[in-house]
Amino acid sequence: MSVVYDFTGKVVLITGSSAGMGEGIALLFAKSGANVVITGRNAERVAKVAKQCTDVSPKQLTALEVVGNLTNKEDCNRLIETTVQTFGKIDVLVNNAGIDCLVEITDECYYEKFLTTINTNLNIAVYMTHKCVPYLAKTRGNIINIATIGAKRASSDSSPYNISKAALIMFTKCMAAELGPKHHIRVNVVNPGITLTDFECESMGFNREESDRKLTAIGIQLPVGRVGQVSDTASIVGYLASNAAEFITGSEYVADGGQLVGNVFDSNTDY
């Protein structure tokens, strides 16, 4: 990341921040002086990322750890309440929590996996936004949602994921139109392409060797010659949350290394 942001005094809540993309986003905000909230289902991972954030914080600010399953409303409520009780406010909400799966419509388990994916990728973001609006209105804060370039095209075996993220993009636009005039809250969405994280291994059932081989093969086909790093997406999130983007709302930002324009896809590569 070549640009250094200053989020001193800001409180940033990132869902799905105990690994992968969310971890990278949390580290960027921590490096930039923000108080960050780390949340996930695995207490060990949450603690690990929280410590990393504290270590890179210019003033060694202690990251807040909240362990929970955000598909439960009670855990969402506890996350928000704990954040406000600890820091007194919320300035930025990053809706990053997400899962993926490879499943076809004819599979017996399709509908169950569809519901699980929608609940995680869309419903959490909707509920967190709904509950955080009163706090974000007080700080004239902003929301950044993490979708995917997979929402921009059809694929044969990732329909639950693509549908959930396409809906998240429309939710972003609707909220930008609604929350700007009434509450002075900006809302934007980032669409990453294929990115080097453990997401594919854990969510899609690939082992590390398979994943690395696949990512390397795809990366050399991209116009920029490599797959994405979490910092590529995190830097855009930082920009959208900053004062430099105060005139931007309802926008989609693509960070895919040219994957869309280069038509670099197969049935298992859409993120």
Q: What pLDDT, in 10s, does the model give residues 7-65?
A: 999 999 999 999 999 999 999 999 999 999 999 999 999 999 999 999 999 999 999 99
Which pLDDT score, from 0 to 100, does residue 1 have? 44
- What is the percentage of the chain residues whose pLDDT exceeds 90? 74
Quick check: is 111 in a domain? Answer: yes
Active-site choice (5, 127, 135, 161): 161
Q: Are 260 and 50 in contact (CB under 8 A)?
A: no
CB atoms within 10 A of CB 4: 9
Q: Are 241 and 12 in contact (CB under 8 A)?
A: yes
Q: How many domains does the chain have?
A: 1
Go through 47-80 and write b for each residue having 16 or more CB atoms within 10 A of its CB, e for each that does not.
Answer: bbbbebbbebbeeebebbbbbbebbeeebbebbb
**Of 225 and 73, the one with more pLDDT:** 73
Quick check: is 87 in a domain? Answer: yes
Quick check: is 4 in a domain? Answer: no
Quick check: is 220 in a domain? Answer: no
Q: Which two tokens stand for residue 167?
A: 């809906």
Residue 105 has pLDDT above 80, yes or no: yes
**Measured CA angle at 66 (ends 168, 20), to 5 deg:** 55
Place of tokens 């990341």: 1
Angle between helix axes 73-87 and 124-139 (nearest 10 degrees) is: 20
Quick check: is 1 in a domain? Answer: no
> Domain span at residue 44?
11-197+229-255
Residue 268 has pLDDT above 50, yes or no: no
161 among known catalytic residues: yes
Query: In angstroms, rounded to a whole number, what is the distance separating the alpha carbons of residues 76 and 68?
Result: 8
Q: Which two tokens stand for residue 56?
A: 């890179």
CATH assignment at residue 190: 3.40.50.720
Q: What pLDDT, in 10s, does the model give residues 116-148?
A: 999 999 999 999 999 999 999 999 999 999 999
3-state class of 254 per DSSP?
strand
Residue 198 has pLDDT above 80, yes or no: no
Quick check: is 130 in a domain? Answer: yes
Quick check: is 74 in a domain? Answer: yes
3-state class of 65 per DSSP?
strand
Quick check: is 217 in a domain? Answer: no
Q: What pLDDT, in 10s, does the model give residues 208-245?
A: 677 777 778 888 888 888 888 899 999 999 999 999 99
Q: Given pLDDT bands bounded at 50, 70 and 90, which one contains residue 271?
A: very low
Its pTM surpasses 0.85: yes
Which pLDDT score, from 0 to 100, does residue 82 have? 98
Which pLDDT score, from 0 to 100, does residue 214 have? 78
Which pLDDT score, from 0 to 100, does residue 2 have? 56
